[in-house]
Each structure stands twice: as C-alpha cells, then as structure tokens.
Chains A and B, each alone.
Chain A
Amino acid sequence: MAVRILSRLVLPEIKGAAFASSAAAPATLSDFDVQHKTPVIRKQQLIPKAQYGGRHAVTMLPGGGIGPECMGYVRDIFKYIGAPVDFEVVDIDPNVDNDDDVQYAITTIKRNGVGIKGNIETKSEAAYVTSRNVALRNELDMYAYVLNCKSFPGVCTRHKDIDITIIRQNTEGEYAMLEHESVRGVIESMKVVTASNSERVARFAFEFAKKNGKKKVTTVHKANIMKLSDGLFLETSRRLAKEYPEIEHNDMIIDNCCMQLVAKPHQFDVMLMTNLYGSIVSNVVCGLLGGAGLLSGRNYGDHYAVFEPGTRNTGTAIAGKNVANPIAMINASIDMLEHLGHHYHAELLRRAVHRTVNEDRVLTPDCGGTASSTDVVNSIIGNIGQVGH
C-alpha cells in the first residue's frame, strides 16, 4: 500500500519536471503559433502544424464568380514578393449536389490550420443542401468573424476617417438552419443563441479591443423584441464587460444602429453582434467605405483561421471581365500573412496597396476609377518594388 502511494507521489513531480524543461517558449508568437499551442478549448486532437523550413502550407478555396481570378492575382503577388507560403488549391464544383469537395476542403483546412477563400457558390436550392459557406464555418467551429473597416483616403465616400471593427458571432443564431413546416402553410425558423457561444464571442471581442487598444465595445441586439435569445446575448456581453473595466461598453438596438451608422459612423469603435445583424451591419459599413471590393474579413475559431473578402458575394456578373476589384482579396491575403507571423511581407504588401489606392488612385470602376483589375495588380507590384527600399 505504501508503495502504491509512493508511486502516486513520484509521478506527478516527474511530469512537472519534464514539462518545465520544454516551457521555454519563444518571446513572440504569431497568432498562428498561438492557435496551435494554446487552444482555449481542446475539442479535437491537436495536429502538428504545417510549417516547414519557414514556409507555411495554406488551403486556398477560389470559390465561384470573381474568386478564381482574384486568387490568381494573390498568387502572382505572393510569387513576386517571395512570401513563404505554399498554397494547396481545392476547387469546389458548384454544380455537384454532394458534399465531397466541401468535406475535403474542410479536411485540408483542418490540417493546414489556415485557409483563404473566395465566396463558394451553392447553386442548389434544395432544402437538404446546406450553404457551403455556412457548413465550412460550422464544421471548423469558427465562431468569431472580424471585419476591420477603415476608410481609404483615396476612395471618394460621404464619410471620412471611419475606423470600426465589427465582430460577429459566426456559427449560430439565425444561421442555425433549423427550419420546418409544422402545418401546411406555417413555417418555423429557429434562432439559436447559447450562453457558451455568446460568451466565447464576447470574450473574443473584449480581448480584441484590449489587444488593439480600442476604447469602446458596442453590443448590437434586438432584445426589446427577442427578450430571451437576444437578451441572453446582451446579458452575457454585459457580464463580461465587468471583467474589462478599462473598456467602455454600451449597447444599441439594431434598427437604431443602422441609422446611426449611416448618419454618425464615427461614434463606433468595436461592434459586437449576433450572426444575422452582423451580416447586415458589415454590408452597411462596406457600403459606407466604398463597396464590396475593398475590405477583408477574418474567421477565427480556436484552432483555425480563414480569411476572405469582407462581403460575402460571388460577383458572378462581373467575372471574367477584368473589372473586379482585387483589393479585397489582397487585403485578405495581408491579414493571412499577418496571422502567420510574416510581418515583413505583410507590411510590404500593405504599403504597396496603400500607395496604389490612396496616392496613385489606381481604382476599378466600382470605386469610381477607370482601371482594370490587372492595372491595379500591376500598380501594386510596381509599388512593391518602390516601397521595398
């Protein structure tokens, strides 16, 4: 018996010793490293990270519409700046009804940890086929969506110097995809709000604000009507706000919020909201800043990150006409480089884009310019050469 106790006493110490010796973590970790090292919740088995000789493997999902051409530009630029990233391209056929390609795409993101995507089309409107974008986010449990909305001085808009960050719950709410016809002619659609997911995204928002030196978080809701569901979301964010006394917190009802956004957008800093409101508000803000082709969005889970253009539309109508605005996808790729820790390349590219849009004003027609997509890309590549020295 005594012996047994001894063994119990000895083992934990040994484990502790072994752990301490490996705890010499490097001083700065990129977000990519953090996701691989310290996931908040360890739901699935951790996969070794896809980083070899300093190069990262990244899944690329070109999607439909203007996606493939924009991805082509991103690859050209990456080749030019020598970004240490290898893309694994997965094409998803929009006309096929089964989910094989989507499942494979999800698997590749799982093993690479990072993805960049255009908008994936779901042609089928049959009830049993779920939206592929939604399926991707749900399967990878990417619960937070971040959209940085910062004005481009070179793009002519009604409001100047807007700087808003929208953080959106990305996996539940109205997008639970639980709809049914209980009696003929009566359809119920369920909106699901859970305390755990609300807390995760609220914590993400406050941590984000803290890390990036933001002053204020605004929770957007409709708790005056949906007292329980939106009420829970609001209550959770209020509770978490107490843990962050240095950050101001207020809340706003969605209809009022939209009005305030178009009238006085400068009052907002970080905005936190549920799924559907996020979809609406992010499109409103994109419109304020100059359209769908400029901003980039980021999807975060505990283990994975996927980067995409800020507004989720395919732009099928302008595909192949060389007029699509490549800036959104290029911004997404900058976010990705930043996430992977390649700050040098991200900064290089960011400065080149800044110069092209704000100083040289080489813009596609959607932003009031006359240039073609390839003109914009060539201008960026030219600027990389100049800002590099």
Chain B
Amino acid sequence: MSIISRNVFRALVQGSQHVSKGVHTTAVNKDKNVCFAQHTISTLQTKEGRIKCTLIPGDGVGPEMVYSVQEVFKAANIPVDFESFFFSEVNPTLSAPLEDVVNSIAKNKICIKTWHTSVTSSTFIHLYLHAIYLPLLIYSASVKLGHGLATNQGAGQKGVPQGILATPDFSHTGELQTLNMKLRNALDLYANVVHVKSLPNVKCRHHDVDCIIIREQTEGEYSALEHESVPGVVECLKIITAAKSERIAKFAFDYAVKMGRKKVTAVHKANIMKLGDGLFLRSCEEMAKLYPRIQFEKMIVDNCTMQMVSNPNQFDVMVTPNLYGNIVDNLASGLVGGAGVVAGASYSAECAVFEQGARHIFSGAVGKNIANPTAMLLCSANLLAHVNLHSYSKMIKNAINK
C-alpha cells in the first residue's frame, strides 16, 4: 500500500510539474518538430538585394565591438542593413522589450549580438523574500513571454549578430530566467556552436587547435527551476529530455557532415548522473547509428577538460549538454587566445544568432579602445557565409588572418 501511495504521490508531483512546465515554457518548443516563428514569405527579406539583420550591441565592451563591425561593413560596402536594439538586463529601464527583439530576429532570421551581464546574488535574496510569490512571478513572466510569442507568430526573417548581454548576479524582478535565456527560449535557439580555431599570429601554448563545440542551451541546468523547499535547502532541477537530446545530437552530426569532419565526441557525466546524462548519452548513441561514416566517441566531462588542456588536437566536433558546454567553450577559447578571438553562433530551426564564443562582457575595458574586436568580426564573417555572401565573408576572414 505504501508503495502504491508513494507512486501515486510521485505521479501527482510529476503531473503538477508537467502542468507548471506547460505553463511557463509556452515559449519553448516542446515538440521538436514545431518550428517557432514560421515565415510565410520565406527566407531573407531582400530589398534590392540587401539583407536585413538584427543587431544587439549588449553591455560592457559590446557597443564598441559592434561599432567596429559596422565600420568594416561600411568600408567593404557589404549589402547588409542593421536593425539595432538596445537590450540589457543591467539597465532594464532603457532596454527594448523582449517581444520587439524576438519579433525582429524572427523576422530577419539573422542577428548579431554581444553578451549580456547576468545578475546573481540578489536573485537569491529575492527568492528568499518572495519564496511564496515566486511561482506567481514566474507565471506572470511566462504569461508575458507567451503573449509576446503569440503576437510574433507568422513573422518571418534569419540570422542575428549579437553582442554579449551581461546578466547581473542578482535579479531586479525576482525572475530566475536571465535575458539571454529568455531570448533563447523565445526563439528556441537550442544549438550553440563555437568554432575554436588557432589563429596563426596569436601566440598560445597550443597550435593548430581546430574543434567545434556544440552545446544544447535550452534545458539541462539552465531550466531556471530552482526553489527552496525547506529554509537552507535549495533544489535546482536539471532537465534532460529525449527529444531535445536527440535534436542536439542530430544537429552535431549534421554539422559535422556539413563541415566535412570525421569525429563527434559526446561529453557527459553519465557515471554520476546515470539517468539524466545517461539519457543524453543514449540519444547521442542512437543518432550516431545514422552516421556510419562519422566516428563517435564519448568522454566524461572531467576527463574531457583535462584532455582539452593537455592534448586539444584530438578533438574534432564535441556535443555537450548545457552547463558542460558552457565550461568547455570557455576553456577551449582560453586555449587559442581568449574571448576576443573566438566566434560562436546559436541556431534554431529558423533563425541564427551570431555572437562571441566565450561570453564575457569585459566591463574593465569599456571605453579604453583595447577590447579585441576579432571575435565579432569573425562572427560577422560567419553571418555573411550563412546568408550566401561568401566572397564578403572570405574578404573579412582574410583581413583578420593578415
């Protein structure tokens, strides 16, 4: 009897989680096959062959770097028009509404963005103070978000260069989701790609590092499901789903095929998190069967980080869940010269957002003209390749290598 009742209790609890999840992730695509932001007229809105692109300067040194990108585009006479949005979490009053930004990206389908700051410890204070109201807050936030999405459907554009949006360590509103996470969830930007490649003229410990790190970024530890069940005990839920794991695994293999790579490494910690990471790992193994000409291997995250600093040349394409990806991204960026030289991109089915590989706003360098714009320029080169402007893309890449 006790077993039965416990099972029932679990069913109820899981059920309520289902429901609550259903409520506050209206933004997130549950169904892996539904692509949000359907475009009716399809593809790039070109007016006289010009491409429109959303631009998010972000915080810290972001605006300076974005400026350098705009200068280069102007100098090279590249047919791209920017639609700029000030979007910031540290400055909530000046920030453009999330809906507008999401709409613009969904319409343009491309965006370039620098990083946002996240806020940490006061989130916790807020959480502590508003433990009771929290569900309500999340609910209202999600309703707002959901509304933004509903109005957004049917809009249609494609890639977005982004600066870095900083997220402070505390929250002004008591929301657990940062602006970056909201943006990702709203657009379902599930795949983050960071291409770590040694630049010939940047002096580093390792040479010829050339690996692609692909990270799931809409679930896992970043689910923003944290709560304090008893004072002094905080639970953070890490969510892994088969649908999203399969989706990211397929993304990684397809990316490897597209780039002509030989090997995909799944990074996990399934020896400890046997169910969660286990599911991720199994999904990757399933997908690997469809790609008989690509080698598949798996590696535990701690060993992976060690291998990465001692022998980074062994890696080709890596696929990781959310948090490990974040760590490995930054580690790998450090290997080839830091946050200033690595470009990244986030993809949904419909949109692409181009941003720096390592996410750090570097506020210390603001206004000093010392921030390294290479990463943003690489981003813009990738953006141009994405919209079939290969000659311009090559032009920028060659200029960087010189």
Contact = CB atoms under 8 A, between A and B. Distances in A.
B290 A28 contact: no
Size bracket of the B interface: 35 or more
A52 B33 contact: no
Nearest to B22: A21
A106 B15 CA distance: 40
Given A17-B22, A22-B31, A110-B290, A54 B158 contact: yes
Contacts of A111: 250, 253-254, 290-291
A329 B150 CA distance: 40
A341 interface: yes
B104 to A, nearest CB: 15
Contacts of A344: 41-43
Residue of B43, B48, B292 with most partner-chain A CB within 10 A? B43
Interface in A25-51: 25-29, 33, 36-37, 46-51
Interface string A76-87: 000100111010
Residue of B35, B150, B388 with most partner-chain A CB within 10 A? B35
A3 B8 contact: yes
A33 B35 contact: yes
B151 to A, nearest CB: 12
Given A6-B8, A27-B38, A33-B35, A50 B154 contact: no
Contact of B158 (A17, A20, A21, A53): A53
A3 B254 contact: no
B122 interface: no
A389 B46 CA distance: 10
A345 interface: yes
B40 A28 contact: yes
Interface stretch (A7-15, A241-249, A274-282): A7-15
A26 B246 contact: no
A81 B264 CA distance: 32
Contact of B35 (A26, A46, A84, A342): A26
A4 B4 CA distance: 7
A104 B250 contact: no
Contacts of B352: 52-54
B219 interface: no
Interface in A56-102: 57, 79, 82-84, 86, 88
Contacts of B4: 3-4
Interface string B1-42: 000110110011001001101110010011111111111111
Contacts of B12: 7, 10
Interface residues of A, number: 51
A323 B48 CA distance: 34
A126 interface: no
A18 interface: yes
Nearest to A1: B4
Contacts of B291: 107, 111
A389 B250 contact: no
A14 B42 CA distance: 36
Interface stretch (B87-95, B173-181, B343-351, B367-375): B343-351
B49 interface: yes
Residue of B5, B40, B158, B254 with most partner-chain A CB within 10 A? B254
B337 to A, nearest CB: 26
Contacts of A382: none
Interface string B382-402: 000011111000000000000
A22 B30 CA distance: 6
Contacts of A54: 39, 43, 109, 158-159, 349-352
Given A17-B19, A27-B153, A53-B347, A48 B250 contact: yes
Given A22-B30, A28-B38, 6 more contacts: A26-B154, A33-B35, A47-B290, A48-B243, A57-B257, A82-B389
21 contacts: A3-B4, A6-B8, A10-B12, A14-B18, A17-B22, A27-B154, A28-B40, A33-B35, A47-B250, A48-B33, A50-B250, A50-B254, A52-B352, A53-B348, A53-B352, A54-B109, A57-B258, A79-B390, A84-B158, A104-B293, A111-B254
Interface of A: 3-4, 6-7, 10-11, 14-15, 17-18, 20-22, 24-29, 33, 36-37, 46-55, 57, 79, 82-84, 86, 88, 104, 107, 110-112, 341-345, 388-389
